[in-house]
Amino acid sequence: MRIDILTLFPKMFESVLGESILKRAQGKGAINIKIHDLRDWTFDNHRSADDKPFGGGPGMVMKVEPVSLALKDIAPARPKGAKVILLTPQGKRLDQELVKCISKEKELILICGHYEGIDERIRLLADEEISIGDYILTCGEIPAMVLIDSVTRLIPGVLGSKDSVTQESFENGLLEYPQYTRPADFEGMRVPDILLSGDHKKIEEWRGKEALKRTGKRRPDLLKKKG
């Protein structure tokens, strides 16, 4: 998968993309990420990518021209080419099902909104708008990082074990069961005996029951969705 990121703050991505699974995924060639500074498509001395809103009001509004020019340069083959996603609190809320759908795309272009807001015409340049939750952030760069991380781990070959994907929270509509590792007893807090038994059938049954129990206690709305 190729991902192009349109951003006013390219340095924000350096540490996230240069560590852990995302770094290894790029090293394997499973994902190719290119960061583009939107100011490269501005032409005034100050490289201005924002301006005061028409009609008055606080803050600055992200301009449409740099985004439009960047898209024309990066994805001239649209709409047959890359899928363009705008990260915005007004978008569709990201969940695991949406992540699965996006992970099947071959090319993505992510537009990171910023400041007080974006020029409404930027929305017309995107194929889809996505939000990571009902709260406000200072920028769209962090949601873009969340989307990249969640999508990358579903690309075949990125994670070491196939089970790492299928047994996590939300994959089957439930929260994940409790996990433990050594030591078996830490300051009186013991690992459940069933996990030390070696009986894999009983362990799987226990995990299933614990997943249901945890989901019912913490996220009963997920059980309602399962019917």
pTM (predicted TM-score): 0.86
The residues, any chain, with a CB within 8 Å of residue 99's CB and separated by 6 or more, are 147, 150, 151, 154
HSE toward the beta carbon, residue 46, CA cutoff 13 A: 4
Instruction: Identify the H or E element spanning 109.
Output: strand 107-112
Tokens coding 174: 């439930």
The top-level CATH class assigned to 167-226 is mainly alpha
The residues, any chain, with a CB within 8 Å of residue 221's CB and separated by 6 or more, are none
pLDDT bracket for residue 227 (50, 70, 90)? low
- Within the chain, which residue ranges are assigned CATH 3.40.1280.10? 2-152
Digit-coded pLDDT (tens) for 159-211:
976 655 555 667 788 999 999 999 999 999 999 999 999 999 999 999 999 99
In this structure, are strands 50-51 and 107-112 parallel, antiparallel, or unpaired?
unpaired
DSSP code string of 126-187: -SEEEESSSS--SBSHHHHHHHHHHHHTTSTTSSS-THHHHTSTTTTSSPPPP---S-SEET
Q: Which residue has the higher pLDDT, 224 or 79?
A: 224
What's residue 166's pLDDT?
57
Digit-coded pLDDT (tens) for 36-62:
999 999 999 999 999 999 999 888 999
Q: Which CATH superfamily is domain 2-152 in?
A: SPOUT methyltransferase, trefoil knot domain (3.40.1280.10)
- Within the chain, which residue ranges are assigned CATH 1.10.1270.20? 167-226
Closest Cα to residue 33, out of 69, 75, 73, 2? Answer: 2
What's residue 169's pLDDT?
60
Residue 34 pLDDT > 90, yes or no? yes
What's residue 161's pLDDT?
63
Angle at 174 between CA 169 and CA 176, to 5 degrees: 40
The residues, any chain, with a CB within 8 Å of residue 13's CB and separated by 6 or more, are 5, 7, 33, 35, 141, 144, 145
